[in-house]
Amino acid sequence: MPSIRLAFVCLFSLFLVASVWADEPIKGPSLQDAKTMFDIFDYMNHETGKIDNIVADPQQRAALRADIYIRATDKLLEIAEDDHDRSNAYIIRLEAFECQIEAEIEGAQQKMETFLDELAAKDETRDMAAGLRFLLFISDAMKTINTPEGLSAFMSGLKTWIYRDIDFPDPFMSIRVDRIGRGMLQVAARRENVDSAEQFATELIEELIEFIQSAECTLSAEEKAMAIRHFKRLELYQFGLFHRKALETVHSPDSFDAFKAELKAWINRRMENFDTIPQLGLLIAEKNGVPAEQIINELIEFLQSPECTAIWKEHGITGWVKMPLTAVGSELKLYGRTLDDKDFDWASLRGQYVLVQFTATWCDSNHRTIPGMLEAYQKYHDKGFEIVSICIWETGPDIVASVKEYVEQKKLPWTIISETLTHKAGQQRYGASFAILDVPTMLLVDQTGKIIMTNARGEALQSRLAEIFE
pLDDT at 20: 37
pTM check: above 0.75:
no
Which ranges constitute the DSSP H helices of 103-147? 108-120, 126-144
DSSP 387: E
**Residue 399 Cα to chain centre, angstroms:** 25
pLDDT by residue (tens digit) across 216-264?
Answer: 888 788 878 877 777 776 766 678 778 888 988 899 989 999 999 999 9
pLDDT by residue (tens digit) across 424-441?
Answer: 999 999 988 898 888 999
Mean pLDDT over 268-277 rounds to: 77
The share of the chain scoring above pLDDT 90, in percent, equals: 45
- Cα–Cα distance for residue pair 96/72, rounded to 1 Å: 10
Nearest to 125 by CA among 95, 90, 73: 90
pLDDT at 28: 64
* pLDDT confidence bin for 311, thresholds 50/70/90: confident
328 pLDDT more than 80: yes
Nearest to 290 by CA among 333, 313, 260: 260
* pLDDT confidence bin for 23, thresholds 50/70/90: very low
Window from 169-178, 205-214, 324-333, 406-415 with minimum mean pLDDT:
169-178
Window from 278-282, 293-297, 316-320 with minimum mean pLDDT:
316-320
- Cα–Cα distance for residue pair 278/303, rounded to 1 Å: 12
Q: Under a CB-based contact definition with an 8 Å cutoff, are residues 311 and 269 in contact? A: no
Buried b (16+ CB within 10 A) or exposed e, 331-347: ebebbbbbbeeeebebe
- Cα–Cα distance for residue pair 289/285, rounded to 1 Å: 6
- Cα–Cα distance for residue pair 85/37, rounded to 1 Å: 6
* pLDDT confidence bin for 357, thresholds 50/70/90: very high
Q: Across the chain, what does the average pLDDT equal?
A: 84
pLDDT at 51: 87
The CA-based diameter of the chain, rounded to the nearest angstrom, is 69
* pLDDT confidence bin for 165, thresholds 50/70/90: low
Mean pLDDT over 15-25 rounds to: 38
Looking at this protein, which amino acid is placed at residue 284?
I
Looking at this protein, which amino acid is placed at residue 246?
A
Q: For residue 243, with 0-12 CB atoms within 10 Å meaning exposed, 13-18 middle and 19 or more buried, which class applies? A: middle
Mean pLDDT over 127-156 rounds to: 88
* pLDDT confidence bin for 8, thresholds 50/70/90: very low
SS3 annotation, 290-350: CCHHHHHHHHHHHHCCCCCCCCCHHHHHHHHCCHHHHCCCCECCCCCEECCCCECCHHHHC
Q: Under a CB-based contact definition with an 8 Å cutoff, are residues 40 and 31 in contact? A: yes
Between 233 and 170, the more confident residue is 233
Mean pLDDT over 56-85 rounds to: 92
Report cis status (omega within 30 of 0) of the bond before 29. no
DSSP 454: E
Mean pLDDT over 342-359 rounds to: 97
Between 317 and 371, the more confident residue is 371
Mean pLDDT over 412-427 rounds to: 96
Mean pLDDT over 135-148 rounds to: 89
Window from 42-56, 190-204, 311-325, 365-379 with minimum mean pLDDT:
190-204
pLDDT by residue (tens digit) across 434-466?
Answer: 988 889 999 999 999 999 999 899 889 999 999
